[in-house]
Chain A
Amino acid sequence: MAFASGYFKTTYKSDLAIVETFSLWICLIILTLGLIFFPFFASAFLMDLANQVFLALIGAIALMLLTGYAGQFSLGHAGLIAAGAFTTAILFKELNAPIWVTLPTSGLTGAILGITFGLPSLRLKGLYLALSTLALHFIVIYIGAEYETQRGFATGVVIDSPSIGPFLIEDPRLWYFSLLIIDILVVIFSINLVRSRTGRAWMAIRDRDVAAEALGIKVASYKLSAFVLTSALTSIAGCLFAYYRGFVSVEAFSLHMTIEYLAMIIIGGLGSILGAIFGTIFVVLLPYIIDALVDILHVPTRLTTYMFAIKYSAFGLIMIIFLVFEPSGLVGIWHRIRDYFILWPFKHKPLGER
């Protein structure tokens, strides 16, 4: 097996290649095959977990593009997911619209909201920007709650499973494959996006906006584009979320959801799509891992009533540990382990490390 232990590209063609070596291709193909055959062996519970990971991944990658690449900090992510979910719910309830109407409309709503979320970023930076997005989160949630109470859906809106052509997507396996395809598309799209002109402009803005402006990058329009793209993607994730759950209610989109998404990209490692994937898997599975641990350790049943609080605290604690001790996240750990084996028996850093 041969993996690139550094930057050894000599032709433009190899520089443009997404997958660097033949061995990596083999690994990817094995992974894809594994993902395709997974549903035929997995239990219903595992399928639900996989679907949850896939759903969250879209939102996490979107947030990664905004925060990890464009360097804009947002606390309004749950608001955007809520916007997508409520667009879907409203269209479904009022017009009985099918998924091929609600999905693009959710994306469009997200894009419009993205402009509103992004406009403060033209004037504000860092903390102040985060707070303005936080304020927008509350406003979006308020509008959703207002719709619920005005239209008499006080507990929430129930949505039927979507159907594409003759297929009714209700079976977890069908959901799995649809979400898998969407996720692969999103991952390939974002990997290519961050290598392109737009992505490089975002990274320049993230690293030093004044220098970026001096290089001729239109900071304002690129910042807005980051917000619009992220919001559109997130709202689409919200639309899928609404269909998957079959139920939309404002309680689901609390500030805690935003924090979970932030935790995904921080625990995963900022500035890496792979990090977003790792982080999503970790954060989504964490409560179930704790459940499993409790099962294995035979904790007295008295404690199980506190499970929710325990999971909650563990989540906070793990986030603190990562922020304080491992700011580069899971992807940093992964790179260290990988480099150790690739470079073995040497201990120097990989050549041309990025």
Chain B
Amino acid sequence: MFLTISTTGTPERPATDLGFLLHKHPGKAQAFSTSYGRAHVFYPEASAERCTAALLLEVDPLALVRRAKGGKGKGGGAPDAALAQYVNDRPYAASSLLAVALSAVFSSALRGVCKALPERAGEPLPLRVEVPALPARGGPDLVRALFAPLGWTVAAEPVPLDERFPDWGASRYVRLVLRAPEGTLTLSEALRHLYVLLPVLDDAKHYWVSDDEVEKLLRAGDGWLAAHPEQKLITSRYLSRRWSLTRQAMERLELVRLADADDTDVEEIDNAVADGPETEAETEAGSEAAGTGPAATGAAERTAPLAVLRREAVVAALRAADAARVLDLGCGQGQLVQELLKDTRFTKVVGVDVSMRALTVAARRLRLERMGERQAERVELFQGSLAYTDKRLKGYDAAVLCEVVEHVDPERLPALEYAVFGAARPRTVLVTTPNVEYNVRWESLPAGRSRHSDHRFEWTRAEFRRWADGVAARYGYDVTYAPVGPDDPEVGPPTQMAAFTQRTATTPTDHGMNENSRHSGSSTSDEGAEAA
């Protein structure tokens, strides 16, 4: 990983002053030991007209792996090598590791301190920064959006993933050239921009962040971050690495290994819980509609309401069905369970999910461990799967499948139908699912894209009814439908709900005359034939 910083000068103010400002002599190549390998500083050119300092960090990938495994210090901890692959872009890309090296090697310059030329340290100077391989999540546009407001002239050119395979498109790296004309930025400012924005652009999942990142950000951002138009994004991304740490702590290593066995990125299978802070940012359209784009913010206002509306609709339907013992099948992070616990008419609330991560998050949300005995008796969370019948699911008044069916492959739905309607057989079943017709109303959702990357299908209202009517007929339920959210006259509501009620089970005694009933006749009295 590599970057250069250049300046120009005149005989009166020679460019080689850069050496003083950086506290590194232009005539020497110097090496420094840092946490992630050796950092080298040298000057490919050093004249009065033009001086360039180069920072080259030799990252030792094996050291990274060992560090990840070693578990010392914050964020190490991961006991599994799978997290820190030997095949890793860290030795090449200008990642957050380079930012760490930058601050270590140029610490005085970063703080704007220069004993030799104290007055120059505070003066703006013409600058040019080149970063040949900058990992930039968000692409050149975001790079420009981050640097341009700070006074830089930005040239950000995407690096192709592999020129041999042009249809693979661009990689997440850009070749970055920043220029600041005379009188714009001080060296300290430039270094602090890089120190904060390299990791923000890198946005890597598992790298090592210390506890005092907030203070570091405040210090490095002093004077420019507060007024930056992308301040929110910068802060959230910079600090989100800490949430990644939380995620890492919860990493289901078993899933990591299964992904690995299948040459799959673990995020493709360990995706039951949306990444990021666990606040009420809610998944919903926030991530549903906006997908992976950086501009998820816009969708947030109208999304939380839909999730809330959905829960309200479910709770109301459960009350109407007079359900007391309720299963939340596919409970995810436990929001509905939490809602149900607020109403004591629900005497037992069981959250079931196939994702252990989801259950962990749900348990934390509900503060299960600190819950009083009486409350705790009302709630239970366990891992289960609707691809299998499950005896534990029998004997409940109602089951809720809130935004669940669309996460199941269509050819495996019959198994789910059987597990719920055939085997568990609660009196009431509520099913909610997106109404795909409504997708055209999501401005941020590109046409034809589903609301969530894990949706195996999204149904129109007619498709949903066809499915639900069929299930009801096969399993002896009646079904009614209700919209959730604004019922658009043209495309319907964003969420559709079906409420299934088991057709009144006739009590066996009504059929006492029927020989097939186990209650019929006095068969038991004939046991004497074999006993006596």
- Is B truly associated with A? no
B residues near A (Cβ < 8 Å) are: none
Tell me the A residues contacting B by CB distance below 8 Å: none
